[in-house]
Each structure stands twice: as C-alpha cells, then as structure tokens.
C-alpha cells in the first residue's frame, strides 16, 4: 500500500474519511458546541489552526521521533498550539471564548489531532501533512456546521443569531440541549451511511 499524496490526503479528510461521520472522532466537542452556528464555526477554525500547526511541527521533526517518546511529543506540541489558540480567542474574540468555555482547552485531548499526527505527519513530509490537516479540519468544520445548522434553526428559528424562520416558529428547545445533539447526530450519521450505501449499490450494479 503506497502512502497517499498531498492531494489525496486533502480530499479524503473532507468526505471519504470525514473525522466525525467516518472516523467518529472528536465527538465530545462535536456534540457540545453545535447548538449554534457561530460556536461551530469558531470551533472549526480553532481546530484548523491547531491541526495545521501540530501536523507541520510533527512532520518537520519526524526523523527525530523515537517510537516510545512520540506520543509525549505529539501531546506537548498539541497542548502548546491549543493554548495559543485559546489565548488568541480570549484576546480577539472574547464573547466566543466565553461561550465555548472549556471546549477550546479540551482540543488538547481531541483524538482527531493526535490521530493525524500519528497517521500522517509522523510519516510524511510537511506539504502532505499540511494538506492532510486542511482536509481533516475542513471535514470536521463541515460536520460541525451540518449539525449546528439543523440544531440552531429547529431550536431557536435562527442561523448565526439572525431570525430565519418566522417568529411564530415554536422553538424546539430540546434541539439546543444535549439530547438534541444526540438526536441530530444519529439522524445525520444514518443519512450519510444511507447515501454511501446507495452509491456503493449503484457502483456494483
């Protein structure tokens, strides 16, 4: 099996190997911050920043890694860039930083990032690692936005805080509460699986 090229890495992260819908990684953040689109997009951007920086850093030092110390180095790298992202948000987007609360620092333990360091950045060059990081974080952001779009409009009748549905819409409050996250995620996951099953069926025929 040959290693995927930069272009393949990028494309795969978006849909074929989508971190949320295919790899089922980073679900804690996914469920927690998707009750409105603003938080979802901010979270996606924070993960993009951390993943690109961490993948690039790990890729540059990949020849120096030793098998038994690599996880320590991944964690150290990720924690550093997450802290930078957290401080940047607090300085320039203070209301978002407050709204996301502990979920920004918790990116440190988000499995998507350590997974990409291990699978791609520790084995391939900087260009491929950055392409992989971009693909995976765009895939993650798309997944967050898809969940948030459903939850915010059903729960509050709004998108990005602007009213979309008429004021007569009876807000389904449950959609912005934790149960709404599970319901929406389950339904969307089922939908993506159904679509790929349909497409696989067509290819066979």
Question: Which region, left, alpha or beta, applies to residue 159 given φ > 0 means left and ψ of -120 to 50 means alpha?
Answer: beta
Is residue 84 a contact point for other proteins (CB under 8 A)?
Answer: yes
Burial of 171 from C-beta contacts in 10 A (0-12 / 13-18 / 19+):
middle
* Region of 42-50, 72-80, 108-116, 141-149 interacting with other proteins (CB under 8 A): 72-80
To the nearest whole angstrom, how small is the minimum distance from the Cβ of residue 156 to other proteins?
Answer: 8
| N-terminal to C-terminal alpha carbon distance within the chain | 27
Helix/strand/coil (H/E/C) assignment for every residue in 91-148? HHCHHHHHHHHHHCHHHHHCHHHHHHHHHHHCCCCHHHHHHHHHHHHHHHHHHHHHHH
Selected from 18, 30, 34, 35, the binder of other proteins by CB under 8 A is 35
For residue 61, state whether it binds other proteins (rule: CB under 8 A). Answer: yes
Stretch that binds other proteins, among 24-32, 137-145, 172-180, 182-190 (CB under 8 A): 172-180
Contact, 97 vs 90, CB < 8 A? yes
Q: How far, in Å, CA of 49 to CA of 51, rounded?
A: 6
> Mask 125-164, x = binds other proteins (CB under 8 A)?
------------------------------x---------
Q: Does 88 bind other proteins (CB under 8 A)?
A: yes
Q: Which of 13, 17, 18, 42 is nearest to 29 (CA)?
A: 42
Does 77 sit near other proteins (CB under 8 A)?
yes
Find the part of the chain contacting other proteins (CB under 8 A) among 15-23, 70-78, 129-137, 181-189. 70-78
Give the binding site for other proteins (CB under 8 A). Answer: 35, 61, 64-66, 69, 72-73, 76-77, 80, 83-84, 87-88, 90-92, 94, 98, 155, 171, 173, 176-177
């Amino acid at each position: 099996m040959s290693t995927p090229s930069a272009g393949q890495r990028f494309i795969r992260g978006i849909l074929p190997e989508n971190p949320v819908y295919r790899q089922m990684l980073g679900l804690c953040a996914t469920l927690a911050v998707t009750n409105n689109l603003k938080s979802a997009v901010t979270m996606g951007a924070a993960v993009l920043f951390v993943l690109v920086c961490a993948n690039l850093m790990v890729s540059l030092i990949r020849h120096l890694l030793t098998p038994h110390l690599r996880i320590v180095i991944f964690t150290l790298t990720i924690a550093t860039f997450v802290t930078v992202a957290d401080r940047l948000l607090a300085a320039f987007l203070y209301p978002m930083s407050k709204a996301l609360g502990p979920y920004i620092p918790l990116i440190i333990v988000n499995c998507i990032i350590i997974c990409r360091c291990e699978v791609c950045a520790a084995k391939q060059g900087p260009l491929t690692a950055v392409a992989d990081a971009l693909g995976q974080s765009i895939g993650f952001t798309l997944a967050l936005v898809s969940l948030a779009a459903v939850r915010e409009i059903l729960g509050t009748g709004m998108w990005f805080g602007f009213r979309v549905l008429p004021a007569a819409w009876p807000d389904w409050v449950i959609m912005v509460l934790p149960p709404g996250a599970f319901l929406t995620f389950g339904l969307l996951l089922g939908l993506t699986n159904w679509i790929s099953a349909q497409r696989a069926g067509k290819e066979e025929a």
